[in-house]
Amino acid sequence: MVNNIFWLVFILFIWFDTDAFVWWFERFKIFKIKEYKLYKEDMDMDISYPDWLFLNNSTFLKKIISCPPCLLFWICIPFGLYLFPINYIMSYIIYKLINKYLN
């Protein structure tokens, strides 16, 4: 269970609080990274890639991957339904605490 919570928090932190995915997507030239970089430079603002996805074209899938509680809900499911409530609640609390103290 602790292992599951660690991985869930890790995925959320990497996706929402770092540019690791942007760096890898840029290397493989996928997911419109050039458009994101241009938007970021033109607007002269520090916007994250998930936020840009939501602003760029707000489809259902993009809403899910740009919202931490929503994304966590869907990535908790493969970790087991019997531990779903514990995984979800503990992962979200730990993610918010880490996010609060690092930002």
Domain ranges of the chain: 2-102
pLDDT score of 69: 94
pLDDT score of 48: 84
pLDDT score of 29: 73
Calculate the CA dihedral of residues 46, 21, 103, 8 and round it to 10 degrees.
150
Residue with tokens 């292992």: 3
pLDDT score of 39: 83
Closest CA to 25 of 59, 51, 57, 49: 49
Q: How far apart are CA 71 and CA 84, in angstroms?
A: 14
pLDDT score of 46: 80
pLDDT score of 40: 82
Question: pLDDT below 50 — which residues of the chain?
Answer: none
pLDDT score of 86: 92
pLDDT score of 18: 87
pLDDT score of 53: 83
Write down the H helix ranges in 1-103.
Answer: 2-17, 20-28, 33-43, 49-56, 60-65, 68-76, 84-102
